[in-house]
């Protein structure tokens, strides 16, 4: 077995934070994805342009550059703006918040496409039936469209989650003590870089396998009430 | 906003872009050369061929690329003596080599999985017809299955190349001077953080949509016998329709 010289607990602590960052970012990504999909599907021009440019730009720029931009760039923008109106302020960005927001913002663009596809997969007749039964747009969305959308969205969201949880490793560059950062610390302390990083990779693999199992269960849950041939 | 600093460092950023393009091209090319035999082993009925490849693909797709880069670059230090003995240490000492090695293995795993799906997606009727025409297994793969699989895999492969292009930014963490690396060094010296990172983002955006443009052109050529010629004559295909 891998001998981590007593640093195993550090990796496990990091893994906890990794999962936490992943869950928070995923929540943000789902909310942004729903808003983005709404923007792409409405007829009004402004939300559509906004949603289109959001997905086009975000998916064309590497995550690492965006993380660096948010963590180092935004405080300097605010400080420069404050200086322009005559205030000297110093802003410290919390790495957890910066990481969660950036990762959530990036994968919101990917879930936008997932939700858009899921909405289009709900049969039109269902929506018409709901409207003709007297439901308002909000009620029809909540009772009819959203429950069916989950079924079509879950495989795509599962993919987004798998990529997202691996992308959280990038937050280690802004010193958040998640799994990758702690593996780095352990590697330096023990002088066993291969052992430490390999252990970390196995933990990531474990998270991936657990996510796959949960995804299967969730898909069974979302498919309840669908007749199988 | 200090645009002067971006202008002054433009030459360096473009040098970084050359490194980014070089890393992407080399690893995409070697990765594809590895992925073809790997995908064939992955669909083989022989478990001694199939299972090791399955493990390789599962490991490289299930762990973050950053861990893979660190494992190869820093992790090789743990085996320095052994690597020196067999004369490989001179390679593993170089960040550039480790960057290419990890990117290549990573994209080989993803591409092999894409090709596996495509090979299994070739319709049975075509294979049956080829067999009935008396083709041997090798000829069947060379003439029927692989060309069809490439065509089926192309859109997903386009995505993989775009992801790899963006993933090359991670090598800046192990001191390779690609676009991100250059931007980070200049930003840290000049405190012009957002100017440089926005410039870097724009460079990547240009590269990504350039790659998409090229790959859509190839896709058009690969599938042109399937296209509706009247529709083509009337309408130019939406080449820059964005990532899908």
Query: How far separated are the first and last CA of chain B, in Å rounded?
Result: 34
Write the ipTM. 0.89
The answer to whether A166 and B33 have CB atoms below 8 angstroms apart is no
Identify the pLDDT of residue B240: 45
Handedness of CA A168, A174, A176, A181 (dihedral sign): positive
Percent share of chain A, pLDDT over 90: 62
Count of Cβ atoms closer than 10 Å to residue B195 Cβ: 24
Minimum distance, in Å, between the CA of residue B180 and any CA atom of chain A:
7
Say which residues have a Cβ less than 8 Å from residue A194's Cβ, sequence separation at least 6. B71, B74, B75, B76, B77, B78, B79
A80/B1 CB distance under 8 A: yes
Residues of B in contact with A58 (CB under 8 A): none
- Which chain A residues are within 8 Å of B183, Cβ to Cβ? 65, 68
At residue A229 the predicted structure's pLDDT band, cuts being 50, 70 and 90, is low
Residue of B nearest to A78 (CA): B194
Paired tokens of A122:
């709900």
Q: Which of A25-34, A151-160, B5-14 holds the top average pLDDT?
A: A25-34
pLDDT of residue B50: 94
pLDDT value at residue A92: 79
Cα atoms in the 13 Å half-sphere on the side-chain side of B123: 3
Percentage of the residues of chain A whose pLDDT score is greater than 70: 99
Q: How far apart are CA B69 and CA B67, in angstroms?
A: 5
CA distance B224 to chain A (A): 27
Whether B144 contacts B122, CB under 8 Å: yes
| Lowest mean per-residue pLDDT among A76-85, A104-113, B90-99, B205-214 | A76-85
Looking at CA atoms only, how far is residue B215 from chain A in angstroms? Answer: 15
The pLDDT score that the predictor gives to residue A222 is 82
pLDDT at A228: 67
> Residue A223: pLDDT band by 50, 70, 90 thresholds?
confident
* A33-64 burial: b if 16+ Cβ within 10 Å, else e: bbbbbbbbeeeeeebeeebeebbbebbbbbbb
pLDDT tens, per residue, chain B with 244 residues: 677 888 888 999 999 999 999 999 999 999 999 999 999 999 999 999 999 999 999 999 999 999 999 999 999 999 988 999 998 898 898 999 999 999 999 999 999 999 999 999 898 899 999 999 999 999 999 999 999 999 999 999 999 999 999 999 999 999 999 999 999 999 988 888 888 999 999 999 999 999 999 999 998 888 877 776 666 565 555 544 444 4
| Chain A residue set in contact with B, beta carbons under 8 Å | 52, 55-57, 59-66, 68-69, 72-74, 76-77, 80, 113, 166-170, 172-173, 180, 183-184, 187, 191-195, 197-198, 200-201, 204-205, 208-209
Q: Report CB contact under 8 Å: B74, A173.
A: no
Answer yes or no: pTM beyond 0.80.
yes
Q: Max CA-CA distance within chain A?
A: 70
């Amino acid at each position: 077995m891998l001998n981590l010289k007593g640093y195993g607990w550090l990796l496990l602590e990091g893994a906890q934070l990794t999962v936490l960052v992943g869950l928070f970012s995923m929540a943000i990504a789902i909310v942004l994805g729903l808003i983005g999909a709404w923007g792409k599907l409405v007829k009004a021009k402004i939300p559509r342009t906004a949603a289109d440019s959001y997905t086009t730009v975000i998916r064309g720029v590497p995550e690492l550059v965006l993380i660096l931009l948010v963590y180092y760039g935004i405080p300097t923008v605010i400080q420069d703006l404050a200086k322009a109106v005559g205030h000297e302020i110093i802003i410290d960005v919390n790495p957890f918040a910066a990481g969660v927001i950036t990762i959530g913002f990036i994968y919101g663009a990917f879930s936008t496409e997932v939700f858009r596809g899921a909405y289009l997969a709900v049969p039109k007749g269902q929506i018409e039936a709901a409207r003709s039964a007297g439901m308002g747009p909000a009620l029809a969305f909540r009772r009819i469209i959203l429950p069916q959308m989950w079924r079509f969205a879950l495989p795509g969201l599962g993919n987004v989650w798998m990529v997202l949880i691996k992308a959280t490793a990038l937050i280690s560059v802004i010193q958040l003590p998640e799994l990758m950062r702690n593996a780095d610390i352990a590697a330096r302390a023990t002088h066993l870089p291969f052992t430490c990083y390999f252990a970390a990779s196995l933990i990531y693999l474990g998270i991936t396998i657990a996510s796959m199992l949960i995804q299967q269960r969730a898909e069974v849950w979302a498919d309840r009430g669908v007749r199988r041939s | 906003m200090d645009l002067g600093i971006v202008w002054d460092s433009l030459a360096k950023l473009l040098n970084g872009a050359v490194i980014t393009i070089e890393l992407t091209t080399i690893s995409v090319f070697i990765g594809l050369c590895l992925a073809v035999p790997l995908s064939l082993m992955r669909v083989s009925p022989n478990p001694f061929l199939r299972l090791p490849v399955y493990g390789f693909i599962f490991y490289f797709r299930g762990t973050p690329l950053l861990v893979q880069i660190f494992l190869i670059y820093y992790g090789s230090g743990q085996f320095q003596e052994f690597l020196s003995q067999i004369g490989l240490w001179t390679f593993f000492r170089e960040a550039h080599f480790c960057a290419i090695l990890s990117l290549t293995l990573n994209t080989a795993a993803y591409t092999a999985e894409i090709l596996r799906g495509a090979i299994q997606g070739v319709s049975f009727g075509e294979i049956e017809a080829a067999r009935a025409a008396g083709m041997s297994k090798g000829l069947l793969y060379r003439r029927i299955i692989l060309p069809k699989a490439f065509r089926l895999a192309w859109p997903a492969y386009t995505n993989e190349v775009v992801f790899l292009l963006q993933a090359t930014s991670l090598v800046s963490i192990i001191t390779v001077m690609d676009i991100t690396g250059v931007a980070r060094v200049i930003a840290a010296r000049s405190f012009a953080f957002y100017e440089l990172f926005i410039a870097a983002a724009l460079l990547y955006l240009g590269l990504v949509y350039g790659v998409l443009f090229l790959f859509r052109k190839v896709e058009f050529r690969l599938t042109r016998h399937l296209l509706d010629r009247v529709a083509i004559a009337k309408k130019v295909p939406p080449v820059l329709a964005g990532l899908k």
